[in-house]
Amino acid sequence: MHWTVDRIEEGFAVLITDTGEVFSVPASALGPVAEGDVLSVLPDPEETERRRQAAETMLRSLFSTEKP
């Protein structure tokens, strides 16, 4: 999927997807971008798995019947 930076206004980047959806994100979250830049969005399987494992660990600790 690609997002095109349509414009930057009041600290927000207005993005348009390949399907024409429009949304805004804080420009600071994107790093150095300019109007007309095309951004690629790709899944990150390694980071997904890392976060999934961290969430599972947290849930297990919250519902553990063991006493500290």
Residue 68 lies in a domain: no
What is this structure's pTM?
A: 0.68
The encoded tokens of residue 2 equal 């690609």
pLDDT for the residue numbered 1: 86
Mean pLDDT in residue range 13-40: 96
- Look at residue 10 and tell me if it is in a domain: yes
Q: Is 20 a domain residue?
A: yes
Number of domains in the chain: 1
Domain contains 31: yes
Alpha carbon distance 27, 50 (integer Å): 26
Q: Which domain holds residue 25?
A: 2-62
Say if 56 falls within a structural domain: yes
Mean pLDDT of 19-44: 95
Q: Kindly state whether residue 67 falls inside one of the protein's structural domains.
A: no
For 19-52, b where at least 16 C-beta lie within 10 A, e where not — what string? eeeeeeeebeeeeebeeeeeeeeeeeeeeeeeee
Q: What is the mean predicted confidence (pLDDT) over 33-38?
A: 96
